[in-house]
Amino acid sequence: MRAVVITGVSRGLGAAFFDVSSARGDRILAVGRHFTPEQQQLRDDRPVDVTLFSTDIADAHWLPDYDTLRAFLRDADEVVLIHNAAVVDPIGAVGRLATEAITNAIAVNLTAPIVLTNTFLRAAPSDAKIRLLFISSGAAHRIIDGWALYCTTKVAGETFFDVVASQVKHDERISVVNIDPGQMDTGMQENIRRAAASGAYFPDQQRWVDAPAEGRLADPLAVAERILKEHAS
């Protein structure tokens, strides 16, 4: 049996991960602030297999704790942690960013994955295969002017998971991967286009504004299927 923890499932790639995992019969712990009516119905229909953990991911104190994860991961042959939740805001010039937006981006994009991974590794069954997936971005390796927080937190997240990978390199049960899913047709892309229209400091904005018309946004469901097939099947 495979047990999968997914953060940020209410839309986009996270919702696609939820759908693919559900379709293949995984036990799911979905972590986030919001859930779709369909996800809530599935939880009601399959309460043993689907758990919706409602929390503010930006507050590390309210992420699933050791006891919650230990109980959820019980008896699983394979356990998977997918760090999908992320925010692209704030977009703008450094020197004009709101402090609250800065700290929220760090909390969601970096602190939450670090804290949750630390707890997950302690709680995982000692004989289970362990898969840690960090959904990163091309922004981790390419400076995008106006995206200081997103670029910074994504490269920092990749560095953290590279260190974890080094730590467990001699344990064949554990795999750790950083994944760039590419541009997708998600709510995050809508937020980026909205920021461009707002007049925020974003010199390279036209590339994102033109992406839908140029057909450069992939289907999140296809991306989720590919990622899970390659890294957690």
Which residues form the domain of 47? 2-182+220-231
Q: Which stretch of 12-21, 53-62, 215-224 has the lowest confidence by average pLDDT? A: 215-224
> Does residue 99 fall inside a structural domain?
yes
Work out the pLDDT band at 195, boundaries 50, 70, 90.
confident
**Overall domain count for the chain:** 1
> Does residue 201 fall inside a structural domain?
no
Helix crossing, 12-23 with 37-45: angle to 10°? 20
What size, in residues, is the chain?
233
Residue with tokens 């959820």: 72
In 3-state terms, what secondary structure has residue 51? strand
> Does residue 213 fall inside a structural domain?
no
Q: Across-strand partners of 78?
A: 2, 129
> Does residue 132 fall inside a structural domain?
yes
pTM of structure:
0.95
pLDDT at 217: 86
Q: What is the edge-to-edge ordering of all strands in the sheet holding 78-83?
A: 50-54, 27-32, 2-7, 78-83, 129-135, 174-179
CATH at residue 141:
3.40.50.720
pLDDT, one tens digit per residue, over 48-92 is: 999 999 999 999 999 999 999 999 999 999 999 999 999 999 999
